[in-house]
Structure 1
Amino acid sequence: MAMAASALRERSLLGLKHLSSAEINWILDRAAYWEGQTEKVIPILKDRFISNMFFENSTRTRFSFEMAEKRLGAEVLNFTASSSSVEKGESIYDTVRTLESMGIDAGVIRLKPIGLLEELAEKVSIPLVNAGDGNNEHPTQALLDLYTMKQHFGELKGLKVSIIGDIKHSRVARSNLWALQKLGAQVKFCAPVSMRAPELERHAPYVSIDEAMCSDVVMMLRVQLERHAGAGIMSSAEEYRLNYGMTEERAGRLSPHVIIMHPAPVNRNVEIDDSVVEHFQSRIFKQMENGVPIRMAVMERAMRH
């Protein structure tokens, strides 16, 4: 049983904090392989059933996973629940167990409660892939970010990466931090005091916006306006834009080799000015494109024996 559990864990992708650099590199290499394929569908997962279980809203991530799964020939079942209808951990567990009992071979899961995914992974006998859990991790987003950086710069070692914005609530910032540092990149954070995560300060320093602009990669995070409504965290979107946004003026001062990234969806004219979203140094749509081969690699890994 212990052997089976450890094999299952090796096929699951719960986060990048405890994933080795060798495993991360394997996924990046396989993504490059899948990106190089000209056929739209290569059915290595024919007759496999995968359920995308989204207990928290997401259109892009779910579509990206679905595209990846279908390109590998899998049968896909989508389950979405409004977060209000499945607030309790027990309900999520029951849903996952129900789908498992119906015969799915793997589950992709996005949920709000932190720590629940680890518990679920211990209780079910199918591999689980984390599509975002609370503000803990979002491993496939960070992997596609790394892949995008590697595509541009050739390697990640020694790369300087600034992550700017709502670090406190960002699972993207955390997954990127763990993975980038494992592969030898230097990470700096930039955030208003109210959006900082103090527990991450020993892993990466907080710097000013001007210093943050002097990296090789400038990654803007989505300001999660829904989390700040009435919380007094941000006085106005315009103030945030002026102090922490990728304005047209800031973009104009970047070194020519720098790339601008954002996990999307973008709040235009808040984190990034409208005119900068498709700026020649922006890789935002390239990141979205790269999500499919990355998720193909992750689902292939989940299904390997």
Structure 2
Amino acid sequence: MTVTQLKQRSLLGLKELEREEIESILDRAQYWENHPSKVNAIAPGKFVANMFFENSTRTRFSFEVAEKRLGTEVLNFSAAVSSVQKGESIYDTVRTLESMGIDAGVIRLKPIGVLAELATKIKVPLINAGDGNNEHPTQALLDLYTMRKQFGDLKGLTVAIIGDILHSRVARSNLWALTKFGAKVVFCAPENMQSAELGGTYVSMEEALKADVIMMLRVQLERHESGMIKSAEEYREHYGLTVERASKISSHSIIMHPAPINRNVEIDDELVEHPQSRIFTQMQNGVPVRMAVIERALN
């Protein structure tokens, strides 16, 4: 496989991806969503490895369902029970699986910059399932897909992303993808969770609630220990989507969240399945979106 082919079939991030390419993935996801059969053996005999060097349940299961629906052979690798704990490098692990004959790899890892470097050395397409606080392209693709289904067009939409922008790969991928489509992205975050390098427009919570899409980010409660947030209660009071705040959003607006959810912290319990919430719809949309991404890698 040539370097160009590898690049065309890998999905490392949305920052570098052309709008037309993103659109073609979303269109193909729509095809898969409308496809009646649950399993479509379009890739029999192809091996896909899910390489998770950072814990994840939802993303891994979503990829696995997508892979099995395409008829691929699935290999699941978890760093928690692997030789990486014994000191083997991430590169050696991926290189080992490549030498065993995998056709594509889905990879999630914590250290930033490692994925970009791996992609220059590994000769099979790689799909980014979340790298550090850099990008999470398939999450943003399923978010765009959800918005497109709701509003028909992304152009002119205002999307408010609320929470820990500084550490959020979801915020980055969404910002880069949405602006390519002519949507306006605004951020709302406590001062110590704002990102200078990312830039962007920061608005008050009151202003954020006027958006067409209100996207809540998961509060990483472990940041309590570092003093980034004083308490879950205080965070909810200032930046949580409470029932009272939700009563002010427009009747056409939707509520989104990448999950997992801290109920009654960033979003009140009764809003998770509110009529305007699309949280479980996002999860549902993740499967056809990831089918399109894996098919593109294998095709």
TM-score by length of 2: 0.98
Deviation at 1:90, TM superposition (A): 6.4
Task: Give the alignment partner of residue 206 of structure 1, picking from 184, 188, 202.
Answer: 202
Determine the C-alpha separation between the residues in 2 that align with 1:85 and 1:194.
37
Determine the C-alpha separation between the residues in 2 that align with 1:288 and 1:76.
20
Q: Tell me what 1:290 maps to.
A: 285
How many residue pairs match? The answer is: 299
Q: Tell me what 1:49 maps to.
A: 47
Structure 2 residue 230 is matched with structure 1 residue 235? yes
Seen in structure 2, the aligned counterparts of structure 1 residues 168 and 90 have a Cα distance that, compared at 3 Å, is farther
Structure 2 residue 100 is matched with structure 1 residue 109? no
Determine the C-alpha separation between the residues in 2 that align with 1:177 and 1:84.
34
The one-character-per-residue Cα deviations of 1:76-99 (angstroms, maximum 9, x if unpaired) are 000001299747996100000000
Task: Give the alignment partner of residue 18 of structure 2, picking from 7, 17, 20.
Answer: 20
Deviation at 1:241, TM superposition (A): 0.5
Q: Tell me what 2:239 maps to.
A: 244
Determine the C-alpha separation between the residues in 2 that align with 1:96 and 1:84.
12
Letter in 2 for 1:221: L
Determine the C-alpha separation between the residues in 1 that align with 2:84 and 2:251.
47
The one-character-per-residue Cα deviations of 1:185-231 (angstroms, maximum 9, x if unpaired) are 00000000011111112xx20110000001100000001112x1321
Determine the C-alpha separation between the residues in 1 that align with 2:85 and 2:39.
37
Q: Show the 5 A alignment for 1:164-243.
A: 164-201=162-199, 204-226=200-222, 228-243=223-238
Gaps of 5+ in 2: none
Determine the C-alpha separation between the residues in 1 that align with 2:102 and 2:198.
37
The one-character-per-residue Cα deviations of 1:21-48 (angstroms, maximum 9, x if unpaired) are 0000000000000000110001111110
SS of alignment partner, residue 2 of structure 2: helix
**Range with bigger deviation, 84-93 or 264-273:** 84-93
Determine the C-alpha separation between the residues in 2 that align with 1:213 and 1:143.
23
TM-score by length of 1: 0.96
Seen in structure 2, the aligned counterparts of structure 1 residues 85 and 97 have a Cα distance that, compared at 3 Å, is closer
Determine the C-alpha separation between the residues in 2 that align with 1:293 and 1:254.
29
Task: Give the alignment partner of residue 267 of structure 1, picking from 262, 268, 274.
Answer: 262
Letter in 1 for 2:245: R
Gaps of 5+ in 1: none
**Range with bigger deviation, 75-84 or 38-47:** 75-84
Seen in structure 2, the aligned counterparts of structure 1 residues 85 and 270 have a Cα distance that, compared at 3 Å, is farther
**Range with bigger deviation, 22-31 or 75-84:** 75-84
Determine the C-alpha separation between the residues in 2 that align with 1:87 and 1:208.
43
Determine the C-alpha separation between the residues in 2 that align with 1:57 and 1:166.
19
